[in-house]
């Protein structure tokens, strides 16, 4: 994606800086970017999807967007490791939250789907602040409607490929099975990274493999850089559109305590950064950071991790220049 020509760099929105307004003040938008009512004219947009009625254990992810935005005030515009300059390159803003229905999960799914249809209609690449993982299904529906079936990088402790949960077909643990059934994914262009823990059967992850997904259990990730893995993943996913779904519980609860279904033995936050930085070069059409549950995050640091990972996603989008 080339940055929009009609937006001269100097006119692009930039995060409100810490020397203009102290970091503890200012608007509680993502990175203190301008709030916009729509994605029209934006290259990329942060969008909140407050939802936790798809979650099986601890709730609270409904407050994820608010908390991620609050902690994002600490972010500055340039990536020091990547030297990425997203705000020099892209027109980015915060387009607010999808109005989910707190009492009706299926209606929330429909509302999210409609909201992302709108965002995608303008050619914008959305970066979603979850909410629980259920949000992935309506977003992928909108993505597939816009782009056709997409590739997927899915970083998570869980495969989320259950057939049903408590008899329901839509919940935070079923979304990628539904996505396959609905033809939203190019199944040979899917990688699931970080899977672990306990399962209903010992074969739970085999369904993924049977679809052609690359499945990387967390034990393969321990004690090492994931840059080589991502080189392989880029090879696997090639040139088509790719969606990036990052469940914060892919990280070990030491790094991300505030989440609903934590699993021990997870990734470090540095590995999380490597995974997203390793998506640079793919045609990322959007991304999401899900399952931050603020009530279980008294320090705010899980939300801070989420904010940082969303920033890394922004830096990994096509068209973002690196300053070397």
Considering only residues 283 through 322, tell me which ones interact with its own copies, judged by CB under 8 A.
Answer: 295-301, 304-305, 308-309, 311, 322
Q: Which residues contact 133 (CB under 8 A, 6 or more apart)?
A: 54, 156, 160, 172, 173, 175, 245, 247, 290, 291
Q: Which is nearer to its own copies, 81 or 210 (CB)?
A: 81
Q: Which two tokens stand for residue 234?
A: 């880029």
Q: Does 1 bind its own copies (CB under 8 A)?
A: no
Choose one: 78-86, 119-127, 186-194, 230-238; the region binding its own copies (CB under 8 A). Answer: 78-86
Pick the binder of its own copies from 269, 280, 290, 317 (CB under 8 A): 269
Pick the binder of its own copies from 42, 68, 95, 105 (CB under 8 A): 105
Q: Are 45 and 278 in contact (CB under 8 A)?
A: no
C-alpha closest to that of 50 among 33, 68, 38? 68
Q: Which is nearer to its own copies, 65 or 286 (CB)?
A: 65
Q: Does 265 bind its own copies (CB under 8 A)?
A: yes
Instruction: Kindly identify the residues of this chain, within the stretch 245-264, that bind its own copies according to CB under 8 A.
Output: 252-255, 257-258, 261-264
User: How far is 232 from 211, CA to CA, in rounded Å?
Assistant: 18
Pick the binder of its own copies from 40, 74, 110, 121 (CB under 8 A): 74
User: How far is 141 from 182, CA to CA, in rounded Å?
Assistant: 8
Query: DSSP per residue over 10-22, as a string?
Result: GGS--PPPTTTS-
Q: Which residues pair with residue 282 across a beta bridge?
A: 280
User: How far is 280 from 205, CA to CA, in rounded Å?
Assistant: 27
Q: Which is nearer to its own copies, 101 or 123 (CB)?
A: 101
Q: Does 228 bind its own copies (CB under 8 A)?
A: no
Per-residue binding string, its own copies, 7-26, x by CB under 8 A, is ----------xxxxxxxxxx
Count of residues near its own copies by CB under 8 A? 109
Q: Which is nearer to its own copies, 186 or 288 (CB)?
A: 288
- The CB density around residue 302, as the number of other CB atoms within 10 Å, is 28
Q: Look up residue 126 and give its DSSP letter.
A: E
Instruction: Kindly identify the residues of this chain, within the stretch 35-64, that bind its own copies according to CB under 8 A.
Output: 35, 48, 50, 52-60, 62-63
Q: Does 203 bind its own copies (CB under 8 A)?
A: yes
Instruction: Kindly identify the residues of this chain, within the stretch 124-183, that bind its own copies according to CB under 8 A.
Output: 164-168, 170-171
Q: Interior CA angle at 108 toward 104 and 109, to 5°?
A: 120
Q: Which is nearer to its own copies, 91 or 208 (CB)?
A: 208
Q: Which two tokens stand for residue 171?
A: 């919940």
């Amino acid at each position: 994606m080339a940055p929009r020509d009609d937006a001269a760099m100097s006119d692009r929105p930039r995060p409100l800086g810490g020397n203009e307004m102290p970091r503890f003040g200012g608007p509680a938008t993502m990175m203190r970017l301008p709030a916009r009512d729509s994605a029209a004219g934006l290259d990329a947009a942060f969008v909140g999807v407050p939802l936790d009625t798809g979650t099986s254990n601890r709730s609270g992810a409904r407050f994820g967007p608010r908390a991620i935005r609050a902690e994002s005030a600490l972010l500055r515009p340039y990536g020091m490791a990547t030297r990425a300059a997203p705000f020099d390159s892209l027109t980015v803003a915060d387009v607010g939250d999808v109005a989910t229905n707190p009492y009706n999960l299926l209606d929330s799914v429909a509302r999210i789907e409609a909201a992302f249809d709108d965002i995608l209609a303008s050619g914008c690449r959305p970066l979603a602040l979850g909410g629980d993982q259920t949000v992935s299904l309506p977003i992928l529906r909108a993505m597939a409607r816009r782009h056709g079936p997409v590739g997927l990088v899915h970083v998570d402790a869980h495969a989320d490929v259950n057939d049903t949960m408590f008899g329901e077909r839509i919940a935070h643990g079923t979304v990628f099975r539904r996505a396959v059934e609905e033809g939203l994914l190019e199944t040979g262009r899917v990688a699931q990274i970080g899977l672990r823990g306990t399962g209903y059967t010992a074969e739970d992850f085999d369904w993924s493999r049977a679809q052609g997904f690359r499945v990387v259990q967390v034990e393969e990730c321990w004690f090492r850089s994931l840059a080589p893995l991502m080189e392989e993943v880029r090879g696997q996913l090639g040139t088509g559109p790719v969606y990036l779904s990052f469940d914060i519980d892919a990280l070990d609860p030491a790094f991300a305590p505030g989440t609903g279904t934590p699993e021990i033995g997870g990734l470090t936050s540095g590995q999380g950064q490597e995974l997203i930085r390793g998506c640079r070069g793919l045609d990322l059409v959007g991304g999401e950071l899900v399952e931050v549950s603020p009530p279980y995050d008294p320090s705010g640091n899980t939300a801070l991790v989420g904010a940082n990972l969303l920033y890394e996603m922004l830096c990994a989008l096509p068209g973002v220049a690196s300053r070397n």
